[in-house]
Structure 1
Amino acid sequence: MKIRISWPAGHVTATLDDTPTAATLLAALPIDGTAHTWGEEVYFDTGLTPALEADARQVVEAGTVAFWTEGNALALPYGPTPISRGEEPRLASPCNVLGRIDGDPRALATVRAGEAIHVRKA
């Protein structure tokens, strides 16, 4: 399943894997939130509360679509965060991996903290 994530300056699409958290997210769409940034990561509260999955990871690839269960937030890293070692995207804590941004995840660099962000089925 594909989703579209949009904000005032742009949008990306993402392909989600078949995971319990991805199914929870898809069932709740559309979702609107307020963007926050942390280094080269965009995240926003979804109001969802899925459980941490067994294969949750803290270090992921740029462009990973992740769910931060501790913050009820979708986490979209496109580069290093303040706790990264080198260029790796390191999330605040282990997150459920839902899928991947289609194309260049650096498009997320145009998201500004406080902007409205929207997630819809693509």
Structure 2
Amino acid sequence: MRIRILWPAGQTTATLRATPTTEALWNALPIASTANTWGDEVYFGTPVSVPREDGAQQVVEPGTVAFWTDGDSLALPYGPTPISRDGECRLASPCNVLGALDGDSQVLRTVRPGDPIRVERA
């Protein structure tokens, strides 16, 4: 499954693997939200609410598409967050890993807090 994420200054696509959270997100698309940033991470609320899955991770690779169950949000890290150690991508808490961005995750640097953000099927 592929999704497209759009904001005023850019867009990217991501490939998602089959997980219960991915299925719930897919069924809710398209969604519109408002971007937030936390260090080098973009996150935004969704209408999806799911439990934390086995295998949830707190430290992930840049460009990971994660679902933050504590905030019903998609989390898109592209670099260190305020709680990272040694440059890692450390999320606020363990998140369900859904997949990865298809291109360079640094495109997320153009997302500004408060930007409208849309996720749709690609």
TM-score by length of 1: 0.99
Secondary structure of the corresponding residue to residue 26 of structure 1 = helix
| Structure 1 spans left out of the alignment, 5+ residues | none
Match of residue 100 from structure 1? 100
Match of residue 58 from structure 1? 58
Match of residue 10 from structure 1? 10
Match of residue 112 from structure 2? 112
Amino acid at match of 1:61: E
Amino acid at match of 2:61: E
Match of residue 89 from structure 2? 89
Whether 1:41 and 2:41 are equivalent positions in the alignment is yes
Moved over 6 A (4+): none
Amino acid at match of 1:102: D
1:36-87 per-position Cα deviation (integer Å, ceiling 9, x unaligned): 0000000000021111001000000000000000000000000000000011
Map 1:75-86; keep pairs closer than 5 Å.
75-86=75-86
Query: Number of aligned pairs?
Result: 122
Q: CA RMSD in A?
A: 0.4
* Residues 28 and 47 in structure 2, CA contact (< 8 A), matched pair in contact too: no
Map 1:66-77; keep pairs closer than 5 Å.
66-77=66-77
Secondary structure of the corresponding residue to residue 107 of structure 2 = helix
Amino acid at match of 2:38: W
